[in-house]
A and B are shown apart, each in its own frame.
Chain A
Amino acid sequence: DGGITQSPKYLFRKEGQNVTLSCEQNLNHDAMYWYRQDPGQGLRLIYYSQIVNDFQKGDIAEGYSVSREKKESFPLTVTSAQKNPTAFYLCASSSLYEQYFGPGTRLTVT
C-alpha cells in the first residue's frame, strides 16, 4: 500500500531534549512538508522540501531543523530552542497539486 508513515504516534520528552520525528513516503513524491497543528490555529508550515538535498523554511521554522538525504524520508528535529514544542505534527507529500498527509505524531514535552 502506498502512503505516508509517521512514527511514533505519541512521543514524550523532557524539556531541554532534542527529539526527531520520522516521516517516510513510498508515493515517489518529490515534495515533502512538515506542519504543526495547535487547537483553533489550523496547520502552520514548518519546513518544506521540493527535491532531495534541498529544503526551505516555512512560516514557523525557528527551533526546528530538517534533512532530506533521500527522496522517501524527511525527518524533523524539534530542538531545545523551540519554546513551546507540545503539539500535533503532520507530515505531507505531493506530486502535483494536492498534498497527502501522514497520520501525525503527538509530541508532549514536560
Chain B
Amino acid sequence: AQSVTQLGSHVSVSEGALVLLRCNYSSSVPPYLFWYVQYPNQGLQLLLKYTSAATLVKGINGFEAEFKKSETSFHLTKPSAHMSDAAEYFCAVSEREYGNKLVFGAGTILRVKS
C-alpha cells in the first residue's frame, strides 16, 4: 500500500524566508503526487501536482515542488514566505490502480512570523 510521511507537524518561518515542507512517499508503482493547502475551517485547495511529466512542478502562489525518485521525496518550497501562506499543507499520493484514491500525509501547519 502507498503511504505518505510529512516531516514536521509544525513549521515556523519568518516573513520573507524560505519555506520548505518535507514529504516522503512509498509506492510500488510510479506515483502521482499532490500538495494541497487548507485554511482554517475550509476545504482543501490544490497547490500543485506531479503526474510523471517534468520533475520540477510549479504551482499557485509561488510554490513549487521537485519529484526525486531516488529519494522518494516531493518537498514543497517557496523562496519567500508571506503572511498569507500561514495554513496547513497536505502531501498526497494517488493509488492509481484503485480508482485514483488519494492517501494523505498527516499535514504540516505553517506559521509565518512577522
Interface residues of A (CB under 8 A from B): 4, 6, 31, 33, 40-45, 48, 50, 56, 58, 88, 90, 92, 94, 96-104, 106
Nearest to B33 among chain A residues (CB) is: A97
B44 contacts A101, CB within 8 Å? yes
Nearest to A39 among chain B residues (CB) is: B107
- Complex CA–CA separation, A50 to B100 (angstroms): 9
Q: Which residues does chain A contribute within 8 Å of B46, judged by CB atoms?
A: 98-100
Q: Taking the nearest CB of chain B, how far is it from the CB of A38, in angstroms?
A: 10
Q: Taking the nearest CB of chain B, how far is it from the CB of A97, in angstroms?
A: 5
B100 contacts A103, CB within 8 Å? no
B101 contacts A45, CB within 8 Å? yes
Nearest to A45 among chain B residues (CB) is: B101
B43 contacts A31, CB within 8 Å? no
* A-side interface mostly: strand
For residue B106, CB closer than 8 A to chain A, the reply is: yes
B105 contacts A103, CB within 8 Å? no
Most chain B beta carbons < 10 A, residue from A40, A48, A94, A98: A98
Show 19 residue pairs from A and B whose CB-CB distance is below 8 angstroms, ordered by the A residue: A4-B43, A6-B43, A41-B106, A42-B90, A45-B101, A48-B101, A50-B99, A58-B101, A90-B43, A90-B44, A96-B100, A97-B49, A97-B51, A98-B49, A100-B46, A101-B36, A101-B43, A101-B45, A103-B43
B105 contacts A99, CB within 8 Å? no
For residue B25, CB closer than 8 A to chain A, the reply is: no
Q: Taking the nearest CB of chain A, how far is it from the CB of B94, in angstroms?
A: 6
Q: Number of contact residues on B: which range applies?
A: 20 to 34
B100 contacts A43, CB within 8 Å? no
Nearest to B48 among chain A residues (CB) is: A98
Q: Which residues does chain B contribute within 8 Å of A99, judged by CB atoms?
A: 46, 100, 102
- Complex CA–CA separation, A104 to B44 (angstroms): 9
Q: Which residues does chain A contribute within 8 Å of B51, judged by CB atoms?
A: 97
Q: Which residues does chain A contribute within 8 Å of B102, judged by CB atoms?
A: 33, 43, 45, 99
Nearest to B4 among chain A residues (CB) is: A42
- Complex CA–CA separation, A31 to B28 (angstroms): 23
